[in-house]
Amino acid sequence: MGILDLFRKDEVTGSKVLVCSLDARFADLLKTDSQVYKRFYPSTTSTAFSGVSQLPEALGQKYDVIHLLCDVTAAGAIADSSGNSITGTDLIRKCCEANVKLLWIASNNQSDAYIKGFNTRGQKINVVMVIDRRGPFFSPFLTNLLAKMSGGEAMPTVWNELNPQIPSSVHPDAPDAIFVAGRGSVRLLQ
């Protein structure tokens, strides 16, 4: 990062979104989450992949947001039903190389698995790793988040507004998630 990068605006107009899954079990969540994104980002694609190998290929389509429904193994790898996998760290690196600004792992997974396999250190990307979607509360939370983000607010600001990061606070109407703001100043506009 050079000195001029500090003054450059990190703003995307016409943000391109991929909502995808790696297992048919996520079909309902794929449909629901896609509908929420499409309200705010018309350039949203929804896809059910048959395997992990399709993920890196999809990154070539230059998406700004990847919203992925998948299983994360205890070792921190994203696995498909055929047993193929990619580590979370490798996926994050590939997303950064493809200039993805936000990666959501949007299905319920164990926090220990994320900690073991998703190293975000030094990566210029926002990452959300869901531990518990909290059922019917996820869609309204996502709707409120995307409404503000698509209007030009930075994700960390909106996230903290909807889900204040106060020690020992409980937010039953927000997903239990790990949020890493590696690209906190990015604006993802409609």
What ranges do the domains of the chain cover?
A: 12-188
pLDDT value, residue 8: 52
pLDDT value, residue 166: 80
Per run of 10 residues, the mean pLDDT along the chain (length 190 residues) is 54 95 96 98 97 93 97 95 93 97 98 96 97 96 97 94 83 92 93
How many Å separate Cα 178 from the centre of its chain?
11
Pairing of strands 71-72, 65-69: unpaired
**CB-CB contact of 182 with 119 (8 Å):** no
Candidate CATH numbers 3.40.50.1460, 3.40.30.10, 3.40.640.10, 2.40.128.50; the one for domain 12-188: 3.40.50.1460
String of DSSP letters for 109-152: --HHHHHHH---TT--SEEEEEEE--GGGHHHHHHHHHHHHHTT
Task: Give pTM, 2 decimals.
Answer: 0.93
DSSP β-bridge partners for residue 129: 105, 178
143, burial (CB in 10 Å: exposed 0-12, middle 13-18, buried 19+): middle
